[in-house]
Chain A
Amino acid sequence: MEKEQLEQGLNHNRRKFLSKLSLGLGSAALGSLLIPDLFSGKDNSEEALMNALPHFAPKAKRVIYLFQNGAPSQLESFDYKPLLNSSYGLDLPESIRMGQRLTGMTSGQDKFPLVGSYFDFQQYGESRAWISSIFPHTAGIVDDICIVKSMHTEAINHDPALTFFQTGAQVGNRPSFGSWLSYGLGSENSNLPAFCVLLSRGKGNGQGVYSKLWSNGFLDATHQGVQFSNSEDPVLYLKDPKSMSRDERRKMLDQIAAMNDIQYQEFNDPSISAKIQQYEMAYRMQTAVPEITDVSKEPDSIIKLYGPDCLVPGTYAANCLLARKLSESGVRFVQLYHQGWDQHDNLPSQMAMQAKDVDQASAALITDLKQRGLLDETLVIWGGEFGRTNYCQGKIQQDNYGRDHHPRAFSIWMAGGGVKSGMVYGETDEFGYNITENPVHVHDFQATVLNLLGIDHERLTYKHLGRRYRLTDVSGKVVNDLIA
């Protein structure tokens, strides 16, 4: 059947046919561009699971994840703890710490002096949420977002913690969040990848990111995140040589297709036809991607909204604007990483710079999506991999201090895509050290995000080397309180 179709297509109106075929396959479960081997047989039960997707009506269709890499302090952003200011310099009581493990950077300290936020807090919006003074734009959208103050994780170092958030396991080569969604839901646009990754570097102490975070793991490589770079080639190898016009490229592709077709006639191997299709998609990507990444046609009001940085490729603001454009075009999962949030020292100055980097554009993204009527179906997530200690790392001063890693309690926010807006969820003790109310484990968070996308996290599985793997590993509960 396929063979006849393909033959017919090749002999008659190849280009027209191919675009039709690719749309057909692109809307299947697999990542858009991304046609699976025609022979790739899936395990029967997997097929059944996949066919059942989505498992229930989705609230969100797409995700934009604004990952704050390095772990921003919850105590200078969303978790207001005046007691820490009044207890300045006092030792963290053992009754609060309860022997919890510390990183090697502070486990040697003989004292754990408490330190409060250098920045003032105020309450905003109808939710009366406390937000620190370095996030004024976020304060402006407070009634559109849901702040979760009771996140907790298992890892205490950056690499495992990031990997845990993105893949559901601290170590191991597992598929990342976006890859799972590409695998489960595919893309809505056959000219763009289902899973795109954007990187920006902040001004604070940096932690590298690593391509493992957008790896497909054991899933088919068609589900790996495609990194958009800020160089002149937004997608690797996308750009043709300078002297090659679109017509010349077209001509070469026709030449290649005609030659491939001769082989196909001889060997009858459907993978030859699949190859021709991939070249056609590459050709279409060469037009589609530059159109998306070109912000020159955006109106002034949009540029003003995101701030002037959005015209500088590779900045967080530019990536937020690009994320909106990609998401608007149907990219299932846009993953941003903004580096520079690892404030072991010089926290007040670094944190202020970092917040300035991200605050306006993060809020602008929400406003922009909302004015386009897209916020309802787009889930936006803002947050890091863990929190920071309520005590000072190193030398303590009123106006200069640092904070070590703290996995026991930290804050993130979410907006749109079926999440309750104008809500603050979860509570920590007055020291901001332990969760006292509604804890949300990373796996609970992942289960909830999948749920918003219409996926039962226990049923999005892939069998690899004898075991059925999930993004949520072996645990995770949907936090229904967060869902509108």
Chain B
Amino acid sequence: MKSRVIHTGVILIWISCVISACQSENQKSIGLSGSGQVSYNFHIRPILSDKCFTCHGPDANKREANLRLDQEESAFKALEESPGKFALVKGDILNSEVYHRITSQDPSELMPPPNSNLSLNEQEITLIKTWIEQGAEYEPHWAFVKPEKKLPELTSDWAKNEIDLFIEAKLQSVELKPNPPAQPHELIKRASLDLTGLPPSLAILEKLANFEGEISYEKYLDYLLEQEAFGEKLAILWMDISRYADSYGYQDDNIRTQWPYRDWVIHAFNQNLPYDQFLTWQLAGDLLPHANKEQILATAFNRNHKYTEEGGVIDEEYRVEYVLDKTNTFSKGVLGITMECAQCHDHKYDPFSQKEYFELYAFFNNSPEKGYQGDVSISKPAKTPILWIEQEDTKDILSFINHPDTSKLSVSVMDELDGTEKRTTYILDRGLYDAPTMPVDPSTPAAIFEFPDQFEKNRLGLANWTTHPDNPLTARVFVNLIWQEIFGTGIVKSAGDFGMQGDLPSHPELLDWLAVDFMENGWDIKRLFKLILSSATYQQSAKIQKDHLKIDPDNTYLARSPRLRLPAENIQDLVLASSGLLHPEIGGPSVKPYQPAGIWESASSGRGELATYIQDSGKNLYRRGLYNFIKLTVPPPKAIIFDSSNRDRCEVGRGRTNTPLQALVMMNDPMILEASRVLASKLMTAESNPESAIENAFRRILCRKQTSKEKMLLTAYYEDQLARFENQPDQVFETLNVGEFPLREKDVNPKVAALMQVIVSLYNLEETITKI
């Protein structure tokens, strides 16, 4: 016992060491004042949430000893099971039972109990001790407090806009300096990849001439934001969130036609539809006054989940499953919270009860959908309720839908039951469809922001609540997603969890400033992109300095621009664009490019339209990666190898792994070999000598000039390959004969084959598929 009583002064010194150590190790403790003041939000709650709330948190059914530590009021009440004792006493560790329990040597007293497999380390115990000594002040959860704009007091020579003030202030606190600016050619490529997902063309590279001419970096950003490729690029993120796919996902996994929704998303981003409206239409477009077909189409957002076509399923079981999916997609993708934990029981960490879960669920529970439409072997491309798209619509309000033929299209969308047909929502015990308990009305979790009385209790009311300026989550979550798109990691790393167990923001004030600024400026998405890309933070070089790996290996503080491997779709885009093969058509039915044989067939039931993979030909082999057909049970293998979402559920971020399977794809994918061959033929014809052909290929693919050393290596490799093909002429045709793009007889020669090998090696460079 004695050893546990340490002099407070020592503790304070120790704690400031702990804190600074945490900072240098880039852990969660951020934003702490130099005085050693422990913050509930930043230091204590993460510990309590992770180690204590399971039994002493929001879940009433699993609560032990009726002690609740997540709420200030109950934490200071007298303990029910130990009369006269208190869990927490402000400033008094000796009378705070919490402290005794976490330091007890008696396994039957020790908290967390040994059998929970959880334990507190010394740092955590010391933090809790100090917190109690400092008065055990509770704070509301940061993400549920309305954000405010507050700029750091800082004079900066470096900053180009407000973002940089926040970044620089934090860099100063960890003794890092921002990197020098990136080279103009790096910026040209970086911005192009971020805003369009495509590499800059040779023409652009030349026209911009390192921004020495009349086109400034700012004008370049405006130009990129006006490209239709912008909508295609951003749509990838939204397809992951809205779990878009081209099949139903169960059993025979038949084809569905939700792609007009995908075309709408591209269109909405390109029209710069404000984010609040973008959400409102998707959540409740059908309930808007005089809803038009575009607004109704947007509600397909709620219908992209899987549908069973398995004979013998129980209809209600699956209808409930679909409503759960809608609820979870909305809460994760839009609100950044993990409501689904409250599906079976009160949330263990966040202040959401199971009742509140089903109140939110109730908004989505009133559409005339069926769990099962009796459609084994008679699968239809959409399920009730359906939006019919006629030919005249595609010439009018739905002109963005790429559907040249005259047939009608059908899309699964939302509708609302009225009057006596209205469905009553019940709490489902353990989340089970056949265990309804008490009825509930639609509402939203009170801890986030009270549902205003004047809003209707339907999806439109939910949309209004979601986009209300007092909603503390919606704008924060979205600006964080965009930050993640650009910098690879969000300001809140757990982009889908802003709750108690989520990561704390690395730059809380910046996140708040961005969120408020975004709302104040009309939820303008393009403006948000331009703001971030205009910052000095964004325009830094990606070179890693010695300090960086030591102080900030994860690049949390952004003293450098990140180097990020491109998403699967954009790797395809880069290869096709740089080789000149890309067919830039926007939208339309998804396409089936080259795919290794037998993948669909070996996993299929053998029934239905998608039992065999019927590869496209012609221009559809060369579309952007966004348009690749996604069969849910067998998603495109290349995409999966490069960390894409399998679209089974709403996802808000992708991994960025590095595996040998990826190397195999880059080495042997016919798309890459064909692109190399086509580019080699083209350049051998257009350029006067192999050196300039290599130089040209290098510029197209790497978007910069080769260095002399690189030139030497590439030329030597070319010469080597030329000798190989001249000595073994039978290999020339064999090598060049890949892909369906016509191979001209005059191109069947050793020079083209040798250049093709050089280009394949260029596509295989790490730099090629990396945003730098």
Contact = CB atoms under 8 A, between A and B. Distances in A.
Interface of A: 3, 33-37, 39, 41, 45, 49, 101, 103-107, 156-159, 171-173, 199, 201, 206-212, 215, 220-222, 224, 226-227, 229-231, 233, 235-244, 248-249, 251-252, 255-256, 258-260, 262-263, 266-272, 274-276, 278-279, 281-282, 285-286, 314, 339, 404-405, 458-459, 461, 465-467
B734 A241 contact: yes
Nearest to B766: A275
B310 A269 contact: no
Nearest to A193: B661
B501 A466 contact: yes
B435 interface: no
A241 B596 CA distance: 13
Contacts of A314: 602
A208 B117 contact: no
B734 A103 contact: no
Contacts of B311: 104-105
A224 B596 CA distance: 18
Contact of B598 (A107, A231, A249, A274): A231
B734 A237 contact: no
Contacts of B178: none
Contact of A279 (B253, B651, B663): B663
Q: Which of B50, B549, B554, B637 has the most CB of A within 10 A?
A: B549
A375 to B, nearest CB: 29
B640 interface: yes
Q: Which of B544, B660, B765, B766 has the most CB of A within 10 A?
A: B660
A103 B604 CA distance: 22
Contacts of A230: 598, 602
A240 B668 contact: yes
Interface in B474-511: 494, 496-497, 499-502
Contacts of B731: 243
Interface in B631-651: 632-635, 637, 640-641, 643, 646, 648-649, 651
Interface stretch (B8-16, B129-137, B406-414, B706-714): B706-714
Contacts of B117: 49, 458-459, 461
Given A210-B634, A465-B494, A238 B658 contact: no
Given A104-B314, A256-B761, A405-B312, 7 more contacts: A231-B596, A236-B664, A259-B713, A268-B549, A465-B494, A467-B349, A467-B501
A461 B604 CA distance: 32
A271 B668 contact: no
Interface in B200-214: none
Interface residues of B, number: 95
Contacts of B543: 266-268
Contacts of A458: 117
A279 B714 CA distance: 19
B767 interface: yes
Contacts of A272: 766
20 contacts: A45-B50, A45-B118, A157-B312, A171-B321, A173-B646, A207-B251, A207-B605, A210-B603, A211-B633, A220-B655, A221-B640, A221-B657, A262-B709, A263-B767, A267-B542, A270-B549, A282-B661, A405-B312, A461-B117, A466-B494
A456 B406 CA distance: 61
A237 to B, nearest CB: 4
Interface in B662-687: 662-665, 667-669, 673
Given A231-B597, A281-B660, A252 B646 contact: no
Given A173-B648, A236-B661, A268-B544, A259 B765 contact: yes
A269 B314 contact: no
A278 B663 contact: yes
A259 B660 contact: no
Contact of A285 (B308, B565, B660, B714): B660
Contacts of A459: 117
A235 B717 CA distance: 29
Contact of B658 (A158, A252, A278): A278
Contacts of A270: 549
B315 A237 contact: no
B188 interface: no
B313 interface: yes
A233 B663 CA distance: 15
A404 B667 CA distance: 48
A427 to B, nearest CB: 28
A249 B666 CA distance: 13
A267 B369 CA distance: 54
B765 A104 contact: no
Interface in B328-369: 332, 338, 341, 348-350
A459 B632 CA distance: 32
A422 B330 CA distance: 52
B663 A282 contact: yes
Given A211-B603, A221-B643, A221-B659, A159 B252 contact: no
Nearest to A211: B634
Given A105-B312, A237-B596, A259-B765, A267 B544 contact: yes
Contacts of A263: 765-767
B258 interface: no
Contact of A215 (B501, B646, B673): B646
